[in-house]
Amino acid sequence: MTQALSDIHEIPKPELADNYVVAALYKFVVLSDLAEWQEKIRAICSDTEMMGTLLIATEGLNGTISAAYDDMIQFVSWLRGHDEFTDIAIKYAIYQERPFHRMKVRLKKEIVTMGCEDIYPSQHAGTYVEPKDWNKLISDPDVMVVDTRNHYETAIGTFTGAVDPQTTNFRDFPQWAQKLADLPEGEKPKKLAMFCTGGIRCEKSTALMKQYGFDDVYHLKGGILKYFEDVPVEESLWEGECFVFDNRVSVDHSLTKGAYELCFACRMPLTEAEREDERYLPGLSCHYCFGEKTEAQKARYEERQKQVALAKERGEQHIGKARE
């Protein structure tokens, strides 16, 4: 897979033949008539032989899809032809094989699940900060830098001095945020700078923090991956690697595959040293989850690992369930 690109026209032409374009996209925008949107999007996805998943909610659109280059151009042109999505954020990459095998267009309460249905980032989000301006912001002693990602992501890398809320999933974040809001006035941070992998979680987090009474709230536009694209390595304030939700598992600042592999039982990223632990059994367990799974789960993981091995023998990529 190539690194993510912000413009589909940046994809080198030789890479297009017999390959698939993958697009990760989202936009917070207030939508009505969700069933109608679902029907229209299903129709264009059918016309363009699109595969993947798109989530629609009153707060907007989110998902990852794949298709041949010309079909992706047609889909994106159609989507951006609607006033609601003219400026939708899209990241592109190239896969040699089709990464998805069916198309799902689903109606949801939220496009990124926080458990707070009355939050509308399109109306109340914080202030975007361009990657080139991020270092200056987070170096301000009055700024609390908040990593809105989950513990399996923060464990392998984050920005210098960032606060880790220690969440297991995004639903845990409001509880941490409420505790911060309940601090006495003299103990609350004057400014908040939020970040996540691609921008969607931190954007929604800023809307929550504003609802909780914080006025000076900022978020990294395009997330960590855009920061890696735009900020030279020698100027980086990032420490470690960044967890990504694809077969690379992690990337370094140059956006090349990192040193981590995934435990397919508990989905934790593992270093080479951790994979040498006697409790690590490929596809079955690691030192994080050893002894915690039921016999039924173990049997399911064993069968999945067998399918992974068979797919590898055939020179194919096994499609597993990615964590949200």
Q: pTM, whole model, 2 decimals? A: 0.83
Give the CATH class of 8-107.
alpha beta
Structure confidence at residue 195 (pLDDT): 98
* Residue 8 banded pLDDT, cuts 50, 70, 90: low
Is the predicted pLDDT of residue 174 greater than 50, yes or no? Answer: yes
Percent of all residues in the chain with a pLDDT value above 70, rounded to a whole number: 87
So what's the pLDDT on residue 145? 98
Predicted local confidence at residue 319, as pLDDT: 46
Q: What is the pLDDT at residue 324?
A: 38
Question: What is the model's pLDDT at position 162?
Answer: 98
Beta-sheet strands, E only, within the chain: 20-28, 51-57, 60-67, 89-95, 103-107, 127-129, 143-147, 157-159, 191-195, 217-220, 238-240, 242-243, 250-251, 261-262, 269-270
Indicate the pLDDT class of residue 17, thresholds 50, 70 and 90: low
Most confident of 11-20, 131-140, 315-324: 131-140
Same fold for the pair 8-107 and 121-240: no
The whole-number pLDDT of residue 276 equals 92
Say what the alpha-carbon torsion angle 36, 38, 41, 45 is, to the nearest 10 degrees: -140
Assigned architecture for domain 121-240: 3-Layer(aba) Sandwich (3.40)
The pLDDT assigned to 323 comes to 36
State yes or no: is 196 an active-site residue.
Answer: yes
Residue 237 confidence (pLDDT) above 50: yes
pLDDT at 102 over 80: yes
Q: How far is CA 139 from the centre of its chain?
A: 25
Q: Domain locations in the chain? A: 8-107, 121-240, 260-324
Assess whether pLDDT exceeds 90 at residue 54. Answer: yes
Choice among 45, 196, 202, 242 that is catalytic: 196
Q: Which of 1-15, 56-70, 175-189 has the lowest mean pLDDT?
A: 1-15
- Phi–psi pair at 198, nearest 5 degrees: -120, -5
